[in-house]
Amino acid sequence: MSEHDGGGEFFAGMLIGGLVGAALGLLLAPQSGEQTRGQLRSTGMEIKERAGEAMDEARDKAEAITADARRRAEEIITDARKRSEEIIAEARRRSDELQATFPARVMSGEGPQV
């Protein structure tokens, strides 16, 4: 999961850099105030759209990661249950085996083996 660290910081830096660059470009360009305000509006809408797309993509990735983690957890739980059932069955089998042979062992003088 360390490959995803810093993604939010990168996105924030990219967004801030884009805003600063756009603002400086518009302020330093030789245009009328009305044209500058129109470009600012247009650039703002474009950045808002990009941010929305990036948020949608991030949400989709987060949902995919969550679904994958949930699937893996369910597999681990299923495997653990199966293994514990196998261990319990083996313990019961050995217990039954010991109980069945215990009287004969005591009578023969062997006694229980520890």
- Model confidence over 62-105: pLDDT tens digits? 999 999 999 999 999 999 999 999 999 999 999 998 888 877 66
Beta-carbon contacts of 27 under 8 Å, excluding residues fewer than 6 positions away, are 36
Q: Where are the domains of the chain?
A: 9-104
Q: Read off the pLDDT of residues 27-66 as tens digits, 9 standing for 90 and up.
A: 776 767 787 778 778 888 888 888 888 889 999 999 999 9
Tens-place pLDDT, residues 23-35: 777 677 676 778 7
Q: Side chain identity at 24, as an amino acid letter?
A: L
Select from 91, 15, 99, 1 the least CA-distant residue to 53. 15
Identity of the residue numbered 104? A
Confidence tier at 111 by pLDDT (50, 70, 90): low
In this prediction the pTM is: 0.48
